[in-house]
Structure 1
Amino acid sequence: MPDCQERTALTPGELLTPAERLRLILVLGVLIALGPLTVDMYLPALPAIRDDLMTTEAAVQLTLTGTLAGLGLGQLLVGPLSDAVGRRRPLLVGVAVHVVASVGCALAPDLVALGGMRVLQGLGAAAAAVVAMAVVRDLFVGMAAAKILSRLMLVMGAAPVLAPTLGGLVLALVSWRGVFVVLAILGVAITVVAAMLLPETLAPEDRRRGGPLGTLRDCGRLLGDRPYVGLILVAGLAMSSLFGYVSGSSFVFQQVYGLDEQQYAIVFGLGAVGLIIATQCNVRLLRRFAPAQVMTGALVAGTAAGVVLLLLAATGVGGLPGLLVPLWLVLAACGLALPNAPALALSRHGEAAGTAAALLGAVQFGVAALTAPLVGVLGAGATGMAVVIAGGMAAATAVALLVVRPWQIEASVTPAGPVAH
């Protein structure tokens, strides 16, 4: 009898064999990669697009804004839909929309058409991101979910770094339109992989009923859960530190410290490697500490490193090496905090995992998307970038301590799943 009771406490994901779990992680990793590749792969082609379509640099950059807008809106649409009809259908339809939009981008005769297709691309890519997160919550909770998300962070950290490089390789062989052909082929491949290897993880009896009013009720209940709101804000603010680094580092390292493109790529890549290593260390830390403990410790350490970064950037003490050490420590702290905050947030609301994942993604995207223009407003110097990075970590820490109150939330997540709220 004790064995039976122990088995009933296991989540569906814990019943998977090691081979099945590895296959699941690989499939979800492919889904997670679609968004970053869609956003970043065409970045090296922006000058060519500007010249070919005879427009301005600012106008071309609006196509990037359109993609990000599609990603944010798409998450809010797909999440509740996946709670109502299951995970597979919204995923397959969304990726199909991405494929069609990618072909449309490749054939776009002008910037208006390209911008419209980029919005659709973002909508399609959002389906892959939301469903991947919802599937994790369908199968895992708490510490197990944090471990899976740590593995997926490997992809989330590597994809944005590799995407421009891949785009550059494509541009060496074909025109900018070929980048979108490659994205279309990638979308087809993801559709095939998901159709063959990703099972439906939301049983019919667990699907949400009630249509739009039911979705609004779910959103109201989620937004009324103080720790959940705090956790998604923590995830967004920590991501804003990463966006501050990504958006400001090119100007700082090349214009302020005089690195060339190759040297900048090495420095940027080393930071990404540090982030990825930290996400994988998270799995080991979770063997000894609870997810909330790891998250809180990482945020406090990241805030301290951010303050040192700001002081060194403002004074110029230590030069570039002095800047890089605290910067990489902040990135490592993000690598530890980011898997645990979403895992804890999603573990609280398994009954509406799609909607919970959608709000999480939309808030992460919305908070972090404000970072790039803020870095620009503060100037191209190291101090402006450091202000955003340190400010994001400090705000995330404050929200964690004052709103989430991590010492209170661990008891609300049991090994078998979240308790009712």
Structure 2
Amino acid sequence: MGRKRYISLILVLGTLTALGPFSIDMYLPGFPAIAKDLDTDVAGVALSLSSFFIGLAAGQLLYGPLLDKFGRRKPLLFGLSFYIIASIGCAMATSLNALIILRIIQALGSCAAAVASMAMVRDLFPVKDNAKVFALLMLVVGASPMVAPAIGGYVTAGPGWQWVFVILACMAVVIMLGVVFVLPNSYKPDPNLSLKPKPIITGFMNVLKVPQFYTYTLTGAFAFSGLFAYVAGSPLVFMEVFGVNDKVYGWIFAGLSVGFIGSSQVNTLLLRRFTSEQIVKVSLPAQAIVGILFLTGSVLGVLGFWGTIVMIFLFLSCLGMTNPNAAALTLAPFSKNAGTASSLFGALQLGIGALISTSVSLFDSLSAVPLAAVMCITAVIAYLVFLISTRINRGKFTGVTGDSVVAGH
């Protein structure tokens, strides 16, 4: 594969992966303005974020079998079209309930991009290079938390939060053009694959039975849910507790994302000398330790504004190491059913993330303690799942270079 072709594939796959994060990050600074216009509070608006996560999780299970039966392109273009329509609907929402429902529909569209991009990494690149490719995708995805909140802050302060969703719709149109003109249909459709409930469920169960899959899926899901908690809780912590305005919050969010994105690129360099398994063994306990320190400091009231920023930065830095390696290790055993495996991985990750983000909204406390507590608990659970499962299933993993497993339907 030529370098130019390689870069163009990474860019399009990266923008597909980034569509969901942009849909989340760009409207965060508008929470207070949305709450005012829709006659609710910031915690109420946060439910529209949780509903988006729920829509993403549900949609993952829908698109996996479709991507394996019809190939990658047709379901992907259908999902992007769905996303565009829902985004315009969000811009026209006049009540919180309408926004919550439309965000679920928008998520159902955007998750086609997320599932397809993961499956196509498995299709287009050697399995031993998957962790590096996922880290490169993180670099493109990194534009979201670095750019989206800042744009969202200025758009909200200018023409209004509704225009955030108009911009998202326009982005989806551009991404759709990239899919049509750059991405190959990387997977031959399987006409024999049934879309009836029983064989679909059987296919998911066969994937779920693979020890390497459920170990790194659950580990990665709980580790990554700390990011969901941060996204859901940070508007309240920074704009309500520490009193920054929407523009400053956008820049804080962008600055903190440097930890997540930067460490994912350091991970690419580390993969030249270490395996994904070795890196995860270090990044997971480090993330748990940072979570414990964050919670302790928040409870004792010794962190303050800058201490909170430092703790979140370190937490996201650890996660930037864990996430691409967990994703690569999760999908490594699969070839023929990569679509089904990636959709189940995404559904579990997003489902757990949705529950975690909702739990942050349930705390009635004007402090950083709820956010710190949830981030700490998720990191500790991730590490415990990893320790227990790898010990029980010792010798059953293929790493990222072993033979592929075909999970039959």
TM-score, length-scaled by structure 2: 0.88
Find the counterpart in structure 1 of residue 171 from structure 2: 186
Equivalent position amino acid for 1:386 in 2:
A
Superposed, which structure 2 residues align to 1:7-406 within 5 Å? Answer: 16-52=1-37, 55-57=39-41, 60-108=45-93, 113-140=98-125, 142-204=127-189, 209-212=193-196, 213-253=198-238, 264-317=249-302, 319-378=304-363, 379-405=365-391
CA distance in 1, matches of 2:164, 2:400: 44
Partner-residue secondary structure (3-state), 1:201 = coil
CA distance in 1, matches of 2:225, 2:362: 15
CA distance in 2, matches of 1:412, 1:256: 44
Is 130-139 or 303-312 further displaced after alignment?
A: 303-312
Runs of at least 5 residues in structure 1 that lack an aligned partner in the other structure: 1-15
CA distance in 1, matches of 2:288, 2:40: 39
Checking the alignment, whether the CA contact within 8 Å between 1:244 and 1:372 is kept in structure 2 is yes
**Matched length:** 403
CA distance in 2, matches of 1:315, 1:179: 38
Residue 17 and residue 247 in structure 1: after superposition, are their counterparts in 2 closer, same or farther (change >3 A)?
same
CA distance in 1, matches of 2:32, 2:304: 32
Deviation at 1:358, TM superposition (A): 0.9
Instruction: Return the structure number with greater helix share.
Output: 1
Deviation at 1:264, TM superposition (A): 4.9
Is 299-308 or 92-101 further displaced after alignment?
A: 299-308
Deviation at 1:409, TM superposition (A): 5.6
Deviation at 1:407, TM superposition (A): 6.5
Residue 313 and residue 127 in structure 1: after superposition, are their counterparts in 2 closer, same or farther (change >3 A)?
same
Deviation at 1:233, TM superposition (A): 0.9
CA distance in 2, matches of 1:108, 1:377: 24
TM-score, length-scaled by structure 1: 0.85
What do residues 366-407 of structure 1 show as CA deviations (whole Å, max 9, x unaligned)? 112222333344534333322222221111111112114596
Runs of at least 5 residues in structure 2 that lack an aligned partner in the other structure: none
Is 106-115 or 288-297 further displaced after alignment?
A: 106-115
Name which one, 1 or 2, has greater alpha-carbon Rg: 1
Is 87-96 or 379-388 further displaced after alignment?
A: 379-388
Equivalent position amino acid for 2:4 in 1:
A
In the alignment, is residue 414 of structure 1 matched against residue 397 of structure 2?
no
Residue 219 and residue 208 in structure 1: after superposition, are their counterparts in 2 closer, same or farther (change >3 A)?
farther
Checking the alignment, whether the CA contact within 8 Å between 1:39 and 1:68 is kept in structure 2 is no
| Structure 1 moving runs of 4+ over 6 Å | none
CA distance in 1, matches of 2:36, 2:398: 58
Equivalent position amino acid for 1:333 in 2:
C
Is 383-392 or 336-345 further displaced after alignment?
A: 383-392
Equivalent position amino acid for 1:299 in 2:
L
CA distance in 1, matches of 2:345, 2:104: 20
Residue 60 and residue 324 in structure 1: after superposition, are their counterparts in 2 closer, same or farther (change >3 A)?
closer
Identity between Structure 1 and Structure 2 (%) = 40
Is 210-219 or 335-344 further displaced after alignment?
A: 210-219
Residue 199 and residue 323 in structure 1: after superposition, are their counterparts in 2 closer, same or farther (change >3 A)?
same
Equivalent position amino acid for 1:194 in 2:
V
Is 91-100 or 132-141 further displaced after alignment?
A: 132-141
What do residues 305-350 of structure 1 show as CA deviations (whole Å, max 9, x unaligned)? 2223333333344655555444422221100000010111111122
Checking the alignment, whether the CA contact within 8 Å between 2:150 and 2:247 is kept in structure 1 is no
